[in-house]
Amino acid sequence: MARLHRLKVLDLSFNSFSGEVPSWFVFLHQLQFLSLRNNSFTGSLLSSFSNISKIETLDLAINSFDGQIPKEIGSVEYLRNLNLYGNNLIGSIPPSLTNASRLETLDLSRNLLQGNISEGIGNLHNLNFLSIQDNHLTGSIPFTIFNISKIKVLAFTKNSLSGDLPNGLCNDLTILKELYLSYNKLHGRMPTSLSNCSQLQMLSLSYNEFDGPIHSEIGKLSNLLELYLGYNHFTCEIPKEIRNLIKFEELLLEINSFSGSLPMEIFNISGLKNLDVIDMTQNQFSGSLPNCLGNITSLGEIHLGSNIWSSNIPPSLGNLKALVVLDLSSNNMVGSLPPEIGNLKAATLMDLSMNRFSNRIPREIGGLQNLVNLSLRNNKLQGSIPDSISNMVALEFLDLSQNNISGTIPMSLEKLQNLKYRKGERSPQQDDSLSTQKRERISYYELLQAADDLSESNLIGSGSFCSVYKGILNSGIFVAVKVFNLQQDEPSP
């Protein structure tokens, strides 16, 4: 093959090649496209790749290359696409790489790279895709990156980057479509200049240390599809201008310090026909759930637990035929469970625990034949358990404890062949163990063991944003384990 001096394209991707890269590649002087991705190549990257002077695309993704990125790579004059994703590369990003001025896509994600990102990266004026996710990078994000006017995707998720975002962010990034900054140590406030990114479709700032309010200018991002702000320190109310974001598919604000009621305008938008996930878990939202929430018929997951909601469940929620997960736990919700709840035929997980629901469990609940997990624990429910529960043939976990339910347990529950966990009465000892367990920090490995290594048999609900698995801890306590889909934050060119 070394004699193929006129060869321009060599694609060996998606095979089972192993060992080091053959040294004779350097004799293919006319090569313009080389892809070795998805193999098992090992060893260090050849500095002699720079001798292939006409190479435009070098794709070495998903192998086991180690060592450092050779500094000579920056001298490859015609290089437009460099993909080193998913290897074991170490050391820093060589400053010489910023000399590859024709680069259009650069993906260094999922390696072991360390150190700072060079200010010189702003010299790559032709760059439209930059991903350095899942490494060990530190320091601040160079402001020069935000001067690359052709950039469409910026992805720095899962590093240890710190500092503020520049206030001039997006002054020049008029065509930026995706910005991924999650899982870092960034802090400060969300720059108001983000509103200049009029083409932005994905904004992910979750798992950082951002604080302050969400500015009203966010309403100018009329093309935004997905907004991830969870696990920060954002405060104040949600601005009513968010109603302008009519193309939403996912709205995730969980574990912040948002307060107040939600602007009713959010749920009155007829354009929200694609919204799949709402997650506002563990904030300080209060007031009533809007009845018009049931108008967003595309919803697959609603996560509103651990807030201060104080209304009843809107009967209109029964319109959500695609709803898989409904979590309203740990609030101050009151009133009866509406019979319309039985219309949620697709639901697999329903957690209404730790509220103040009263009166009887509606017999219509028996219509939830796909429901795997039902928790009504710690409410003020009364009356007897309806016989219709026996129709919930998929039910595996049922918790009715800490209520005022009376009568006998229906014999018809014997029909529930999949039922593994049933809790319908309490004792002081049980209450103590539950409250103690709630305050303990449970390790990742214990959760993994409890859910049988996240096996398919333990899957009880899934959506585009996360999956939920059942599990039992060593102490005998039942848990539901939410596993976030991090691939949402990892774009590919």
What type of residue is 35? S
Q: Does residue 447 lie in a domain region?
A: yes
Q: Is residue 19 part of a domain?
A: yes
162 part of a folded domain:
no
Per the model's pLDDT, the better-predicted residue between 414 and 306 turns out to be: 306
Say which residue the tokens 């969980």 belong to: 254
347 or 271: which carries more pLDDT confidence? 347
**What pLDDT, on the 0 to 100 scale, is given for residue 438?**
37
Residue 430 pLDDT: 35
Whole-number average pLDDT of the chain: 85
pLDDT score of 272 more than 80: no
- Whether 292 maps to a domain, the answer reads no
Residue 484's pLDDT band, with cuts at 50, 70 and 90, is low
Q: How far apart are CA 74 and CA 30, in angstroms?
A: 19
What pLDDT score was predicted for residue 476? 64
Confidence class for position 489, pLDDT limits 50, 70, 90: very low
In a domain, residue 450? The reply is yes
- For range 310-316, the mean pLDDT: 92
Residue 75 lies inside a defined structural domain of this protein: yes
Last residue of a domain, one of 70, 86, 103: 103
CA distances, 154 to each of 5, 201, 353, 430, 435 (Å): 37, 12, 40, 50, 43
Q: Which domain holds residue 474?
A: 438-486
Q: What is the CA radius of gyration of the chain?
A: 27
Question: Using one digit for the tens of pLDDT, what is the confidence trace for 384-432?
Answer: 999 998 899 898 888 999 999 988 878 878 788 878 766 664 433 333 3
265 band by pLDDT with thresholds 50, 70 and 90 = low
Lowest mean pLDDT of 22-26, 73-77, 486-490, name the range: 486-490
Q: pTM to 2 decimals?
A: 0.77
CATH number of the domain residue 447 falls in: 3.30.200.20
Percent residues over pLDDT 90 in the chain: 50
Q: Is residue 195 part of a domain?
A: no
- With a cut of 70, say whether residue 439 has pLDDT above it: no
pLDDT tens digits for range 123-174: 999 999 999 999 999 999 998 898 898 999 999 999 999 999 877 777 777 8
Number of domains in the chain: 2
Stretch 443-471: mean pLDDT = 73
User: If we measure between CA atoms, which residue out of 376, 419, 406, 397 comes closest to residue 478?
Assistant: 397
Residues 314 and 337 sit within 8 Å (Cβ to Cβ):
no
pLDDT at 467: 76
Say if residue 443's pLDDT is above 80: no
205 by Cβ neighbours in 10 Å (0-12 / 13-18 / 19+) ranks as: buried
**Mean pLDDT to the nearest integer, 188-201:** 89
Which of 59, 86, 103 is a domain's end point?
103
3-state SS of the chain? Answer: CCCCCCCCEEECCCCCCEECCCHHHHHCCCCCEEECCCCEEEEECCHHHHHCCCCCEEECCCCEEECECCHHHHHCCCCCEEECCCCCCECCCCHHHHHCCCCCEEECCCCCCEECCCHHHHHCCCCCEEECCCCEECCECCHHHHHCCCCCEEECCCCCCEECCCCCCCCCCCCCCEEECCCCEEEECCCHHHHHCCCCCEEECCCCEEEECCCHHHHHCCCCCEEECCCCEEEECCCHHHHHCCCCCEEECCCCEEEECCCHHHHHCCCHHHCCEEECCCCEEEECCCHHHHHCCCCCEEECCCCEECCCCCHHHHHCCCCCEEECCCCCCEECCCHHHHHCCCCCEEECCCCEEEEECCHHHHHCCCCCEEECCCCEEEECCCHHHHHCCCCCEEECCCCEECCCCCHHHHHCCCCCEEECCCCHHHHHHHHHHHHCCCCHHHHHHHCCCCCHHHEEEECCCEEEEEEECCCCCEEEEEEECHHHHCCCC
pLDDT higher than threshold 60 for residue 93: yes
The more confidently predicted of residues 89 and 5 is: 89
In this predicted model, which residue has the larger pLDDT, 440 or 24? 24
Evaluate if residue 252 carries a pLDDT over 90: no
Q: How confident is the model at residue 378 (pLDDT cuts 50, 70, 90)?
A: very high
CATH of residue 8's domain is 3.80.10.10
Share above pLDDT 70 across residues of the chain, in percent, rounded to a whole number: 87
Please compute the mean of the pLDDT values over residues 295-313 and round it to a whole number: 90
Q: How confident is the model at residue 195 (pLDDT cuts 50, 70, 90)?
A: confident
What was the pLDDT predicted at 381?
Answer: 95
**Is residue 82 included in any domain, yes or no?**
yes
Q: What is the pLDDT of residue 428?
A: 36
* CB of 464 closer than 8 Å to CB of 483: no
Domain boundary (103, 136, 151) is at 103
pLDDT in tens, 17-53: 999 988 888 888 899 999 999 999 999 887 767 778 8
pLDDT of residue 267: 60
